[in-house]
Amino acid sequence: MKKKNTSAKKKIPNFYFNKLKNRKIKKIYLEFKKNINEFSNKKLCVAVSGGSDSLALTFLVKCMSLETKIDYLYCHVDHKLRSESSKEASKTKKLLKDHGINLHILKWAGKKKISNIQEQARLNRYNLLFKESEKRNIDTILTAHHLDDLYENFFIRLLRGSGLKGLISFKNKVSRINKNKNILILRPLLNISKKDLMYVSKNTFGSFVNDPSNNNEKFLRIHVRKIINKLFSNKENNLNIGLALSNLYRSNEAIEYYVKKNIQMNVKSRFGNKVIISDNFFNHPDEVVFRSLNTVLNNLSKKTKLTRGSKIINLYKSYRKSEKYFKTTLSGCIFEKVSKSLIISREI
């Protein structure tokens, strides 16, 4: 038994090290390591859907685990939206077990509303991952979002009329999607294409789950994906869209600089549940004022969900129109104009 155990212990690492001898896989792995470098020495939760992207991420993380000697947490969420989902979850669990990875299956229980089902699934998926991570004192979740997802998200936001910040929001490698949770979402594959990730998964684990919703044209994302595939048949288009995103990202950083400066100079905090905003706060371009107000409100409010931008814009317009007195509520906070200042306090 001891000889068998020793053999098994060697077999698993050898599988990963041998796969890294493939020059293309090694190149992708080194890029992944560079992207995740500052997080590599802490325990992480890996979101595993079972598709080619997430299995490629799983392979790359396991290789890193063998180097760092840290056991990472691998989680799959069974949404139970399709009759085959539980069977697919078990298949993925067995596949990874055969390769030395223990996959934890989290189940989305309860009734599902038919409307906006993808958004419901996304929110519940993250809630389950947050809960499991908190239970194990993990504060960073890895997702397999890649370069193609970045482009898709840009076009979807464009079609929905998003502003500059919305258009490039997905470009952030690290983000916090729930302001009441001290858990970060880390996307270490954003500069790696789906084609490359599929190459990794096919040449390592050998199989993956195909989600039929990825071909369902009732979802906007699928329409956008088809448009992008046509656009990217020309390599020059691919490079130009990447360049445009980089230019927008730099423009956004410039605006954020002035937003931080505006808050530092013109916002005073009282006892953590009240802020006083001076009149000079509003003497800036509308985008700077809007983002500054958005930041102040969402930091002060106890609401889990971030306030919609349209509501903040309407509040800002009403404030500007008022000459002397102004009072309203939004996101559990009271807004009151006093002299030349705006006081924002939490509702009791």
Of the CA atoms within 13 Å of residue 218, those in its CB half-sphere come to: 6
At residue 107, what are phi and psi to the nearest 5 degrees? -110, 135
For the chain, the maximum distance between any two Cα atoms, rounded to a whole number of angstroms, is: 84
| CATH of the structural domain 264-346, one choice from 2.40.37.10, 1.10.10.10, 3.40.50.300, 3.30.465.60 | 3.30.465.60
Which two three-digit tokens encode residue 135?
Answer: 């239970």
pLDDT at 165: 87
Specify whether the CB–CB gap between 19 and 203 falls below 8 A. yes
For residue 197, the SS3 value is helix
Q: Which of 161, 148, 136, 236 is nearest to 193 (CA)?
A: 148
Query: Under CATH, what is the fold of the domain 2-233?
Result: Rossmann fold (3.40.50)
pLDDT at 205: 94
**Torsion-angle region of 180 (φ positive above 0: left; ψ -120 to 50: alpha; else: beta):** alpha
Spans of all domains in the chain: 2-233, 264-346
Q: What residue ranges in the chain does DSSP mark as E strands?
A: 45-47, 73-78, 103-107, 140-142, 174-175, 184-186, 267-270, 274-277, 326-330, 333-338, 341-346
Specify whether the CB–CB gap between 329 and 345 falls below 8 A. no
DSSP string, 276-330: EE-GGGGSS-HHHHHHHHHHHHHHH---SSPPPHHHHHHHHHHHHH-SS-EEEEE
| pTM to 2 decimal places | 0.84
Determine whether 348 is exposed, middle or buried from the number of CB atoms within 10 Å of its CB (0-12, 13-18, 19+): exposed
pLDDT digits (tens), the chain, 348 positions: 455 555 556 788 999 999 999 999 999 999 999 999 999 889 999 999 999 999 999 999 999 999 999 999 999 999 887 778 889 999 999 999 999 999 999 998 877 666 677 778 888 899 999 999 999 999 999 999 999 899 888 888 888 888 888 888 888 888 888 776 789 999 999 999 999 999 999 999 997 777 666 666 667 778 888 888 887 777 777 778 888 888 999 999 999 999 999 999 999 986 678 999 998 999 999 999 999 998 998 888 887 776 777 888 888 888 888 877 889 999 889 999 888 889 999 987
Specify whether the CB–CB gap between 332 and 179 falls below 8 A. no
CA 113 to mean position of chain CA atoms: 23
264-346 matches 2-233 in CATH topology: no
